[in-house]
Amino acid sequence: MAEKFEDLKYPVVVIIGGGFAGLELAKKLSRKPFKVYLLDRHNYHTFQPLLYQVATGGLGSDAIAYPLRKVIGPMPNVSFRMAEVQRMDTDNKKVITDVGDFAYDYLVLATGTKTNYFGNSALQNLTMPLKTIPEALDIRSYFLQEFEKALVEQSLSTQEAALNFVIVGAGPTGVELAGAMAEIRKNVMPNDYRELDPSRMHIHLIEAGNRVLATMSEKSSRDAQKFLEDIGVEIMLNTMVTGYDGKELKLKDQESILAETVIWSAGVMGNLPEGLPASFVQRGNRIKVDEFGQVPGLDGVFAIGDIAAMISEKHPNGYPMLGSVAIQQGPWLGENLIRLANNQPLRKFVYKDKGSMATVGRNRAVVDLPFIHLKGIIAWYIWMFVHLMLLVSFRNRVIVFVNWAWNYLSYERAIRLIIRPYKKKDLNGE
């Protein structure tokens, strides 16, 4: 008879975070001589690259989420706990959570990122982030509420504010979200909101840098900007946001924009649990690790994925915060933990850059591969295929594929439901 999880006498590995890195690590350690706890504040894994499609009604939340227990159920030596980590006690090698303490032999931080507001509390309280499924559902509800409001609003200035949609940050999330909103203006508004003039809906994409998709090639930046301009997105480069009061977005050296919907995708920072001294934290609130993923000076503590800053000559600020890095580091660290338990030398992490991509709506995408740059419909097909294959389960792939096919054939975004009306916070975040 197989041993019960509670009776296993193996070294204990505590993984904080059920994203790409944490989940891939748990898979690698499945049926290996370790007792593994996977901790996450949600009971599901989120496929973050498609959050913008949930926010714009193209996909339901169940299409990009999958229960963590469903994934680890067949793993006899892995157990999941839905827990909020309060702090780490590295001196006594335990993690303190709201459901109890977890002693460990090896601790792996895979906590990912959170939205970076650069210390501006007004932006934090009044703009809308897009990092989680609840936040995506809030955005979906709110922009639909704004359409309904514009229909009955008599004041032209208030109607203008309701139909101005501002996205701050022109990385992949901002670009893809802007493209999806432009498709809503073109294909949804004329049918569902016939009393509104689609030309009165404005989509502003604001970027502090000098180009969109700054982490991709200059060719991709130029092509993506051209795609966005062709579908009517108003791009503002070299533009800094200085403040927001819930109605008026203030810009440095530019006229303010009246807008009730401001989506903040201008930056991320490491989602760092409490308990590490400041000396371990690098630029971007990330944890400095060596080439083996270990946190120098802390016994048995590792970090992988977006939270880890693995410094090298080529990457002085650590590897980029990309899902591909996390997906590669999870199995690699699992193999190193196995080697560590067997007193074998550890292997350094070597990132294999397989390229990057972004979509700008129907038949429009840009793809940077190590050997070629692609744009247009071919890039769009590649983008769809890669994202389908990266989804956790076959069920998710089927749901997403069916939704994409329907949206493509019908020119609709079918999930336009205000399930839970969103109420904006005030300046105090209440």
Which residue numbers are catalytic? 176
Write the CB contacts of 199 (distance below 8 Å, at least 6 apart in sequence): none
- Give the burial class of 22: count Cβ atoms within 10 A of its Cβ; 0-12 exposed, 13-18 middle, 19 or more buried: buried
Angle, vertex CA 6, rays to CA 5 and CA 12, nearest 5: 80
- Residue of 300, 305, 267, 299 whose CA lies nearest to 287: 305
- Residue 393's φ and ψ, nearest 5 degrees, are -125, 160
Which tokens hold the place of 187?
């294909």
350-367 burial: b if 16+ Cβ within 10 Å, else e:
ebeeebbbbbbbbebbbb
Instruction: Answer whether 215's CB lies under 8 Å from 187's CB.
Output: no
For 343, other C-beta atoms within 10 Å of its C-beta total 6
Tell me the CA distances in angstroms from 377 to 225, 230, 349, 411, one per residue in order. Answer: 16, 15, 35, 16
Nearest 5 degrees, angle CA 279-CA 283-CA 285? 75
Amino acid at 123: L
Give DSSP secondary structure letters for 78-147: EEEEE--EEEEETTTTEEEETTEEEE-SEEEE---EEE--TT-HHHHHHSEE-SSHHHHHHHHHHHHHHH
